[in-house]
Amino acid sequence: MRIIVALDIISGKCVRLTRGDYATKKIYNEDPVEVARMVEDNGIKFLHLVDLDGAKEGRVINHNILEKILTKTELIVDFGGGIRSEDDLKIAFNSGARQVTCGSITVTRPALFLDWLKNWGNDKLILGADCIDSKIATEGWAESTDADIISFIAGYRSKGIKYTICTDIEKDGMLQGPSVELYKEILEIPGIELIASGGITSVKDIADLMEIGCEGAIIGKAIYEGVLNLKDLSRLC
């Protein structure tokens, strides 16, 4: 299972939110490149870079941070936040993203997303399937929908998607453990490669996600708050 460090960006700074609420913003580092170097220096290869400004504004904003990180490190980065158009997608890939996570667009313009899936391939695009009470949320988690998370992911799997990131928003930033039972349900969908996100706080949490068959685990606040150590995490890679 891949260990992936989350790096969320607002105004060019490394931040974390709680349950996606921008009012809870906490700045952890003024320099995201410094954070990325620290991740790489501790033997972790994967970074989940989220443009929170972009998610809020509906367009990619912090792609320059992606470029700087990839100039200074050899990390493998997936990028998300604000991917609403073909231009946004191209900006992300041209800035060096290995994969791009698409969330709101998969709900608001599914035909366009399926065109991207056809043109770019299912190794390049990740379905962002974040939920509250098992219902998909969009627009930087500010909008809720009636779409059931399991049906939503299964529908896109039948149309060719391979990777999905699922965050249970109620767990995000709470340091209370991930939604293992929800992930078990998702993993019943044949062929899905699930990346778990939200609430991962301990080595046991990671072991539990490995045991049920997650492809990756995204860890954020537990690292920044010193609950989990990067060097210890690198031993699990």
Catalytic residues: 8, 130
Reduced to 3 states, what is the DSSP secondary structure of residue 137?
Answer: strand
- Cβ within 8 Å of residue 235, ≥6 positions away: none
Q: Other CB atoms closer than 10 Å to residue 119's CB: what's the count?
A: 11
Q: Is the dihedral of CA 47, 52, 53, 55 positive or negative?
A: positive
Element of type H or E holding 32: helix 32-41
**Is-contact 37 72, C-beta < 8 A?**
yes
Minimal CA–CA distance to 87: which of 68, 108, 64, 61?
61
Q: What is the DSSP letter of 22?
A: E
Reduced to 3 states, what is the DSSP secondary structure of residue 160?
Answer: coil
